[in-house]
Chain A
């Protein structure tokens, strides 16, 4: 978990100063899609605050949006359709468009140009996060019978 937090901190700085892509939100959407966990909400809240600070937004605005998106993703991930990993692309696309519209930072005609690469990027990030969660995170509820 510490690794994930570290990566998200790096991504927060990265997206605020180098690359205009919301990588933190994509990672959060992917994680929520793979695993329903209350820790997703904590991450959404905390990194919403950090991103608001780094992007000079009013504190809390991104937390509200991130929390809403993460919660929506967790609800959708319960459905049977989510067995298909490619569903992450349209899902990310819709959620990121909503986020951009709520933030109101990008002009409407340019929203799709900004969101489309982010949505396409969500698929490789999804596989990376799934690999990480499945192979490198030890779960407490799995116990070996001796």
Chain B
């Protein structure tokens, strides 16, 4: 037995001593020794515990920073997606508002209106509807009860609108105020202003009068607003009076315009 087990005697002695210590400690005989030892071991254990806690905190901070960075990226993507969705909804809302507003001014049962989005503005205003949608050359384009211009160029899916301010634009018009009324021809000028020409001297016209369409061209209904008189040019040596007319709104603010189709 003792040959097959190495250090048999020593191990038996040590186990017996361990049992003796175990018994002595069970009856609290060694508690004073343990108390004494605790004065040495406790500070070391506490120091190790605190160090471990501090190191763990540092690692936790790094880990949390990494998680926060990932979350931040995910939230940024989500935010971009939401902003894009929000912009799309706002655009659709504005377009819907424009359609509702338009139906209040020109009765859809009388006028066959086709909504179109402005997609460019140079000399002409470009819209995203063309011959595929039933558009033709010379059709009037309006917004609410304001006349914007007429179609001068056409492709399958886009069209160019000659605005009132275009130098080639000429529309029969009349001005209407509280005590004034004058007839003339509204001619486009370079820039955004227009000139109401061929007004007789005996006709009254004042600053602030609204200018309306006569509707003699055929494609254009009578009574659409063309602009507002900003200045009256009354020269005695001229045969006719003139008045400068400005549009009521900036064309670039429009979300939708409407083309009046011929029945």
Contact yes or no, A71 B34, CB < 8 A: no
Question: Which residue in chain B gives the minimum CB-CB distance to A46?
Answer: B14
Of the candidate stretches A54-62, A106-114, A132-140, the one touching chain B is A54-62
A143 on the B face (CB < 8 A): no
Contact yes or no, A63 B48, CB < 8 A: no
Nearest-Cβ distance from residue A103 to partner chain B, whole angstroms: 13
Contact yes or no, B52 A59, CB < 8 A: no
Nearest-Cβ distance from residue A17 to partner chain B, whole angstroms: 4
Contact yes or no, A67 B22, CB < 8 A: no
Q: Which of A54, A60, A67, A78 touches B11 (beta carbons < 8 Å)? A: A67
Nearest-Cβ distance from residue A27 to partner chain B, whole angstroms: 18
A74 to B37, CA, bound (A): 31
Q: Which of B5, B19, B41, B44 touches A60 (beta carbons < 8 Å)? A: B19
Question: Which size bracket describes the interface of A in this complex?
Answer: 20 to 34
Q: Which of A38, A53, A74, A78 touches B34 (beta carbons < 8 Å)? A: A53
Question: Which residue in chain B gives the minimum CB-CB distance to A56?
Answer: B34
Question: Known contacts A13-B45, A71-B11, A74-B6; is A63 also within 8 Å of B34 by CB?
Answer: no
Question: Which residue in chain A gives the minimum CB-CB distance to B16?
Answer: A64
Question: Known contacts A18-B49, A53-B34; is A71 also within 8 Å of B22 by CB?
Answer: no
Within 8 A of B (CB), among A15-52: 16-18, 36, 38, 41-42, 44-45, 48-49
Contact yes or no, A64 B19, CB < 8 A: yes
Nearest-Cβ distance from residue A104 to partner chain B, whole angstroms: 15
- Chain A interface secondary structure, helix, strand, loop or mixed? helix
Question: Which size bracket describes the interface of B in this complex?
Answer: 20 to 34
Question: Which residue in chain A gives the minimum CB-CB distance to B33?
Answer: A59
Q: Which of B4, B18, B23, B49 touches A45 (beta carbons < 8 Å)? A: B18
B25 on the A face (CB < 8 A): yes
Contact yes or no, B6 A54, CB < 8 A: no
By a CB distance below 8 angstroms, the chain A residues around B17 are 45, 63
Nearest-Cβ distance from residue A12 to partner chain B, whole angstroms: 9
Interface centre among A14, A60, A63, A67 (most CB of B within 10 A): A60
Question: Which residue in chain B gives the minimum CB-CB distance to A75?
Answer: B5
Q: Which of A36, A42, A49, A59 touches B6 (beta carbons < 8 Å)? A: A36
Q: A13-B48, A63-B15, A71-B11 are in contact. List 16 more A-B contacts (CB 8 A).
A: A17-B46, A17-B52, A18-B49, A36-B6, A45-B14, A53-B41, A54-B41, A54-B45, A58-B25, A58-B26, A61-B18, A63-B14, A64-B22, A67-B14, A71-B6, A74-B5
Interface pairs (22), CB distance under 8 Å: A16-B45, A17-B48, A17-B52, A38-B7, A38-B10, A41-B7, A41-B14, A44-B14, A48-B18, A58-B25, A59-B24, A59-B30, A60-B19, A60-B22, A60-B23, A60-B25, A61-B18, A64-B15, A67-B14, A67-B15, A71-B11, A75-B4
